[in-house]
Structure 1
Amino acid sequence: MQLVLDYLTVFAAIYAAMLAVYFATGLTMTVINARHPDRRIQKHRDGMKRVKKEIRASLSALATSSVLLSAGYFAQTQGWTLVAPLPLSWWSFPLMFVICMVLFDGWFYWGHRILHWPSLYKWHLPHHRSVAPTVWSNDSSAIVDTLIEHGFYLVVWFVLPVPALSVFALRLFDQITGMVGHSGFEYFASKSSRWPSPMICTTFHDLHHSQFHYNYGNFFSIWDRLMGTVHPGYDAMVKEMETTGEIPDTALEKVR
């Protein structure tokens, strides 16, 4: 019984932290976006009509994600994992953070691709109802969707010697960048977010919501480029933003 109570305490703390980050990031981006309407990506669609539904769905999805993260962490603290964590140090924290970041991006890409299979798409469809995503829609997902895309946060503790802080930092980074990436407003288009850089900007994932069959990656465009699923107009659009400073409407972008 004490073991169950100890786990529930860990889960409650992680879920509370995730909710705090979700609402803090959401409110901050909402204020910033209101001051910069010219940075809107899909200029002819209003994603804010779905905000209440997105927040309700996100409360459930964040709870699911917190179960995965807390279960993995708790297993490590109990010595149930295959490997013991590296001692936290100046080198182990950034090393495992980067390794986990690269691995999670691959996990997310393939999990995301699988969710687009006809047999599984019904679990991903609620997320895609936000055709013009908002900062609140990052976690607007069904439970099965979250289990597949965030299953990494359970598995990683069992197979890698991860210091807990490395995984928690990645989850925090993933949450904030995911919400910014769904915000529907572009602030980061630059040479660093187009070929040959592996990095991406908000437009990358916004194109996935408006065009559906491209840009499945999370942090990087590497897997999309390797598998031929990067939107064919993405790099040109980013370059246009650099040159003109204006945001083209991705909803009107036609695939050649």
Structure 2
Amino acid sequence: MPAYIQQFTICFGVLLVAAYLVPAGVLHWIVAVRPTPEIETARIQRRRPRREDVRREVRQSLAALVFFALYSVALLAAYRAGRALVYWNPSDYPLWWAPLSVVVAMVLHDTWFYWTHRAMHLRWVFPWLHAGHHRSITPTAWAMLSFQPLETVPQFAFFALLIFFVPMHPVALLSYLMLDGLVNAAGHCGHELTPRFIRERVGFINAVAHHDLHHRRFQSNFGQYFNVWDRLMGTFLDDKPAAPETPSIVRDERPRELVSRPAAREPSV
């Protein structure tokens, strides 16, 4: 087997398990397989996702993982060429930098995500990059990587830039990737899992309900971890976690590209 095919197979397998099956599977187990009464109470929307919606989310995510694996092979080649700032010797940087680098990655990623995400909602860009993801009006954790092929480019680009420009120990990098996966899966799980003290006292951190609102209202809550950029740019929208939107609101605020597609019809309540 040629080396590049072997590298692609390994990258795809690792990403499939670590970046998709584990985070999405954990959240699926919590909210759908073995939900407690408290979890059921935390359901955000009255409507429930349809089986065909979940199948579409999984199908699009698997296709996106193929592209991510291809990009990873190229990134691995750059790393081997010495172009990455990943360091293995802990003494190369102060010990406090390892945990701080995770925080730096979160702040940079949130900024990157806000502006690229908002750009993908531009009318002439949306159908080509982001409409596929927004076919999930009532998303599930399996929608966490449900991207169209072109959307995989800005989604993956941040991680490449992170490795090229921010020195990170492999443990810190892996910790951040795991955190990002869990946050992404939780943001699409349809249940408000954010601790109450964070929702009530830490106003700059996004709750699950904020991203769920984004899937229903489209033109608000573009941030990943925080809502600082949303607040500064006037795109922040808050709501009570348990207050569902009426079907008419969902229908009225969809982009035309989604309204015209039969697959985008909202699930029955």
Structure 1 length-normalised TM: 0.81
Give the stretch that moved more between structures: 160-169 or 102-111.
160-169
Per the alignment, in what secondary structure is the counterpart of residue 141 of structure 1? coil
The whole-number CA distance in structure 1 between the counterparts of 2:246 and 2:73 is 38
CA RMSD of aligned residues (A): 2.8
- Alpha-carbon contact 1:88-1:163 (below 8 Å) kept: yes
User: How far off is 1:167 after superposition?
Assistant: 2.8
Counting only pairs closer than 5 Å after superposition, residues 134-149 of structure 1 correspond to structure 2 as 134-149=140-155
The whole-number CA distance in structure 2 between the counterparts of 1:208 and 1:142 is 18
Question: What amino acid does structure 2 have at the position aligned with 1:177?
Answer: V
Give the stretch that moved more between structures: 149-158 or 172-181.
149-158
Structure 2 length-normalised TM: 0.78
Question: What amino acid does structure 1 have at the position aligned with 2:24?
Answer: G
Report sequence identity in percent.
30
Q: Does structure 1 residue 109 correspond to structure 2 residue 114? A: yes
The whole-number CA distance in structure 1 between the counterparts of 2:247 and 2:201 is 22
1:32 corresponding residue in structure 2: 30
Match of 1:16 among 13, 16, 21: 13
Q: CA 1:145–1:120 in structure 2 vs 1: closer, same or farther (change >3 Å)?
A: same
User: How far off is 1:86 after superposition?
Assistant: 7.3
The whole-number CA distance in structure 2 between the counterparts of 1:14 and 1:29 is 23
- Alpha-carbon contact 2:44-2:244 (below 8 Å) kept: yes
- Alpha-carbon contact 2:87-2:168 (below 8 Å) kept: yes
User: How far off is 1:227 after superposition?
Assistant: 0.9
The whole-number CA distance in structure 2 between the counterparts of 1:94 and 1:70 is 27
1:228 corresponding residue in structure 2: 234
- Alpha-carbon contact 1:64-1:143 (below 8 Å) kept: yes
Question: What amino acid does structure 1 have at the position aligned with 2:140?
Answer: T
The C-alpha deviation readout for 1:199-221, integer Å capped at 9, x for no partner, is: 12211100000111100011111
Q: Does structure 1 residue 59 correspond to structure 2 residue 45? A: no
Give the stretch that moved more between structures: 219-228 or 64-73.
64-73
User: How far off is 1:19 after superposition?
Assistant: 1.5
Show structure 1 runs of 5+ residues with no match: 239-246
User: How far off is 1:162 after superposition?
Assistant: 2.8
Per the alignment, in what secondary structure is the counterpart of residue 95 of structure 1? helix
User: How far off is 1:67 after superposition?
Assistant: 3.6
The whole-number CA distance in structure 1 between the counterparts of 2:206 and 2:113 is 15
Match of 1:249 among 224, 244, 251: 244
User: How far off is 1:173 after superposition?
Assistant: 1.4
How many residue pairs were aligned? 240
Give the stretch that moved more between structures: 68-77 or 177-186.
68-77
